[in-house]
Structure 1
Amino acid sequence: MPRWYRLDNAGKLYPAISSARRTTVFRLSADLSAAVHAGRLQEALTNLMPRFPYFSVHLKGGVFWYSLDSSQHTVQLERDSRYPCMNFPLHRRGIFPFRVRCWKNRIAVEFSHVLTDGTGALIFLKSLLAEYLHLEGVKREDCEGLPVPGERMRKGEDEDAFRRFGNPLLPSPPLSDPAFRLPLSLERPGYYKITTGIMPVEILKERAGDYGLSITEFLIAVMLDSYQSMLLDMPSGLRKKVIAPIRLNIPVNLRRIWPSPTYRNFFVSIDPEIDPRLGVWSFDEIISSTRHYMMYETNRHRLAGRIARNLRGERNPFARIIPLPIKNIVLPPLYSLFAEKYYTSGLSNLGMVDMPPHLSPFIRRFDFIPPPARGEKVKASLIGWNDK
């Protein structure tokens, strides 16, 4: 097992910018059909951690960059909190960049993006559920490729896939104009509001299909249309001051494009938009724009350009020689100035969760909460289970 890991390209930024307002922490949870036995869940967690050595780490500051050092500590189960996705004291030695929680019949994992993305976190949660249910007496059967205790890590699970597949010499997409910002007041740091809902997936799929769109594409169009309505409802004087492109931050799972088995970060964001400065967009126009944008921008050549832009930022000679303490001071305001201002909102869809058939009857639902951010005051996320 390696003694330390470099932060992957996506993870390098997060230690410097994380705060009570911008925690970089997202959450996945599962509700079971019976109350969770905390002692057995701790046993399952302890059994599972050696199978995920790249998660059994803590953040360590170097001269120029952070790294992830292997930890000999045991991850301790926590009682769930009313306030999810709160900030980690990442810079404190021995602190894991994720937490596992439970309450009543719910098991939750909360990961800092320093460590992984939604795909990697979901794999971990599924493996934890499988091990816990087996300890609860569910017969051990084939787990259909899920990582399980006792097996060795598969080659490539801990790779930085950005380095493997990225080419920093490729041209990048041009920078966009700053986006329309939602005229909403933020809660005090450490608090944000969560609204959840459940609906049959077939209804959503059928509605999206009426327009020839996927579920993600349809919801992008709905969000763009909703924010346009919010803009149009403003008093004309205010509207003229704040009018700007309405743009969404949409993460794309790059494992669907390049064959990496990594459970670390491997995603880039694309940014569908409408520009109300050009006039009012009808819903049919938004549908058409979204369809063509998504088809064009999810092409591997276009995505490669976005990876290239991120890699160049990491490998910039000037950035590499700046000492880490100065990076920690400079990066948060730069991120606010040059990153967050380009998005109105965001949408992340983890798709339908699949579990081994012998375990499915014991799971009622999954939930996914995205990381809070200062600039994107409203975010949306989706995850599916069974027919909902």
Structure 2
Amino acid sequence: MTARQRDAAWEPLDNAAKIFPSISSKRDTKVFRFACELREGVDPVLLQQALDETIEDFPIFRSTLREGFFWHYLKESSQRPLVQLESELPCSNLYDANNPGLLFEVSYYGRRINLEVYHALTDGTGALQFLRALVCRYLYLRHPEGFAAPPTPLHGASFSEMAEDSFQKYYTTSSKNKVRSEPVYKLRGVRLPEGRMQIIEGVLPVKAVLAAARERGVTMTILLTALFLCAVDKNAVLRRKRHPVVAAVPVNLRNYFPSETARNFFCTINVGYHFGRDPGDLESVMASVRRQFEELLTRENLAKRMNGYSALEHNALVRVVPLGLKNIILRIAGAIAERDHTISISNIGKVSMPAGCEQYIRLFDVFVSTNILQLCLCSFGEDLTLSFSSAFRNTDVQKDFFRSLTGMGIPVEITTNRPEEEVRP
């Protein structure tokens, strides 16, 4: 394909992505970062070669975001992604309407390979697919003796399957999910300057966390969600305890609807607890969270939420509204959506790598830009990484969360991007 032919190709945004260009801001760029920490320093020359090869398997990543008359759209570009030494703040802005560039960036620092992605391009699953392929190719170039054969694409999907808009594929006109109307507890406090956020990363033995969850008869996600809710309540302002603490939980829809897309295919459920009305002990909170997960994580309920994501595009009146007016509508919709949760927790799950790679990798990590407080987690090998990103200076919620884990006898290794502040569990 020539550069001219490539520049002519375009794709409409998927339904989950349509809101991100309208609600992105300096405070919340809608960028997320996956990182892979190796056991040795990164060779930038080999990383660039690996990136050049990997991008050929993920053509949707070679896209810029453009403004149409009615909607934003992805336009294929001939731009070459270039590996950079990390120099910007984490999750810095990747989308500039006046200077369209690629919607992802690969950087390195020390032993870490970073992949930052603008959410309009893909979700966490799609980004992790890309990073796994990139790291695998890099390690083969760096240590060919450690592999029985050259790595093959890890995803096994065709280009059309990876570029599929699965929201359109599974959209129906059936009933849609009702929006929570009850006010929720909102975090307040001194915020960091725009463009900055606080990151606190905890590394724990995954077997110890799983054992603690099994001992209490719940899954790891339920345990950590309950601990997060309890940590917020412990630091809540008493006069505002009349509202429930609610966690937004992104759900990978590929686990419920067959899809190989490398684009966005997720929805969000809200799981909460009313500490001002119900018992505040951990057992009661876990039992409530478990009941809500069982009720909400069904194909039928998720289909309703998915239809809600698609409803705006299929609204006959909204479809003919020019993009400028749509941006206003979407910003209002985004502000309303942010009012229905206090915090957010995202479990990426277990990261697997092909044989030959594991010996060179220490851990994987993930965190997102946010204007509130968010927890992301993933595991690799023996380690579970829990990463908080926060728009606030105060770290009391994070401290109490980690103290709860150490109180269960689970060791935690903590690092932070604010070396002037010591964060101890």
Tell me if TM exceeds 0.5.
yes
Match of 2:378 among 373, 379, 383: 383
Matches within 5 A, 1:232-381: 234=237, 236=238, 239-240=239-240, 243-336=242-335, 338-372=336-370, 374=371, 377-381=372-376
**1:318-375 CA deviation, whole Å, 9 max, x = no partner?**
2212211222344334422x11111100001111111012111111111111222x2x
Percentage of pairs with the same residue: 31
Look up the match of 1:146.
154
Unpaired runs of 5+ residues, structure 1, are none
Match of 1:167 among 163, 172, 191: 172
SS in 1 for 2:293: helix
Look up the match of 2:189.
184
Task: Compute the displacement of 1:133 (Å).
Answer: 1.5
Matches within 5 A, 1:42-57: 42-57=48-63
SS in 1 for 2:365: strand
Cα pair distance change 1:333/1:302, threshold 3 Å = closer
Please give the root-mean-square deviation of Cα atoms over the aligned residues, in Å: 1.9
Look up the match of 2:412.
none
Distance in 2 between residues matched to 1:333 and 1:189, nearest whole Å: 21
TM-score by length of 1: 0.91
Match of 1:120 among 106, 126, 131: 126
Q: Are 2:65 and 1:65 equivalent residues in the alignment? A: no
SS in 2 for 1:19: coil
Cα pair distance change 1:82/1:98, threshold 3 Å = closer
Task: Compute the displacement of 1:384 (Å).
Answer: 0.7
With 288-297 and 314-323 compared, the bigger mean Cα shift is at: 314-323
Matched residues, number: 375
Look up the match of 1:197.
202
Match of 2:14 among 8, 13, 20: 8
SS in 1 for 2:102: coil
Task: Compute the displacement of 1:144 (Å).
Answer: 7.0
Cα pair distance change 1:66/1:82, threshold 3 Å = closer
Distance in 1 between residues matched to 2:185 and 2:300, nearest whole Å: 28
CA contact (8 A) 2:11 2:74 kept: yes
Distance in 1 between residues matched to 2:381 and 2:177, nearest whole Å: 39
Distance in 2 between residues matched to 1:185 and 1:316, nearest whole Å: 40
Which amino acid in 1 is paired with 2:378? I
Match of 1:29 among 27, 35, 42: 35
CA contact (8 A) 2:79 2:102 kept: no
With 279-288 and 207-216 compared, the bigger mean Cα shift is at: 279-288
Superposed structure 1 runs of 4+ greater than 6 Å apart: none
CA contact (8 A) 1:4 1:70 kept: yes
Task: Compute the displacement of 1:317 (Å).
Answer: 2.1
Distance in 2 between residues matched to 1:101 and 1:145, nearest whole Å: 22
CA contact (8 A) 2:66 2:100 kept: no
Give the number of the structure whose residues are more often strand, by fraction.
Answer: 2
Distance in 1 between residues matched to 2:159 and 2:150, nearest whole Å: 17
CA contact (8 A) 1:51 1:153 kept: no
SS in 2 for 1:177: coil
